[in-house]
Amino acid sequence: MALTVKQQLFLAILVLAVPFSAISGDPDIISDFVVPPGTNATLLDGNFFTYTGMRPLVDSDPPTNFTVTKATMAEFPALNGQSVSYAVLQYPAGSVNPPHTHPRATELLFLTYGTLEVGFVDTTNKLFTQSLQAGDIFVFPKGLVHYQFNSAENDFAIAVSAFGSAAAGTVSVPSTVLGTGIDDVVLAKSFKTDVDTIQKLKAGFPHMA
């Protein structure tokens, strides 16, 4: 069957686009930075490129549960188009950051205080784990399921994570699977268990939608 010119073009675009979308981060911008709509660019100054939302962390007491403080383009609009963002992660003794993925970014975690058990699972279901000490850096490859656990009994841990996207996104495995209203029967079959067990698990994840 002969393809029309239009169909051939479409195919060529597909073939070209797939490898590029697989290797790129955020879309490239064709300006130095992105001025938010409605902003008079001549009035921009250094304040636009400064995020002060982490200041309260500096002198505050450690939180009593696992806490993430983000500086993504949602909190810090100057990151739009720059393909980077940060999160500060605070782990009280015994706390966990449950298994999750960042669909749009690699995560580079720098442990600045305490110790941390980390792990990720690749697409062949191989688990990679490490015990980090302060000063260590660990990379979670883009899109893979990963977790962190502060197993210390008495001490908290603090990490700073960099992301290769201004909007890395987070998909938490427990709340995505159990807190979004997926049918009990579907989950029971998927987890090779019964509906009662699924309902017990769901009780910890009130349906948010």
Ligand X SMILES: *[C@@H]1O[C@H](CO)[C@@H](O)[C@H](O)[C@H]1NC(C)=O
Shortest Cβ 63–ligand X spacing (Å): 4
What x/- string results for residues 24 through 43 when contact with ligand X is judged by CB under 6 A? ----------------x-xx
User: How many whole angstroms separate alpha carbon 73 and alpha carbon 81?
Assistant: 9
By beta-carbon proximity to ligand X, the closer residue of 122 and 155 is: 155
Are 100 and 173 in contact, with CB atoms under 8 Å apart?
yes
Write the DSSP assignment of 109-166 as a string of letters. Answer: EEEEESEEEEEEE-TT--EEEEEEETT-EEEE-TT-EEEEE---SS--EEEEEEESST
102 annotated as ligand-binding: yes
User: How many whole angstroms separate alpha carbon 150 and alpha carbon 133?
Assistant: 11
207 annotated as ligand-binding: no
Token pair recorded at residue 205: 């994840």
- Written as one letter, the residue type at 163 is F
What x/- string results for residues 60 through 99 when contact with ligand X is judged by CB under 6 A? ---xxx----------------------------------
By beta-carbon proximity to ligand X, the closer residue of 90 and 161 is: 90
What x/- string results for residues 138 through 177 when contact with ligand X is judged by CB under 6 A? ----------------------------------------
User: How many whole angstroms separate alpha carbon 153 and alpha carbon 147?
Assistant: 18
By beta-carbon proximity to ligand X, the closer residue of 140 and 156 is: 156
75 annotated as ligand-binding: no
Shortest Cβ 41–ligand X spacing (Å): 8
Contact residues toward ligand X (CB under 6 A) are 40, 42-43, 63-65
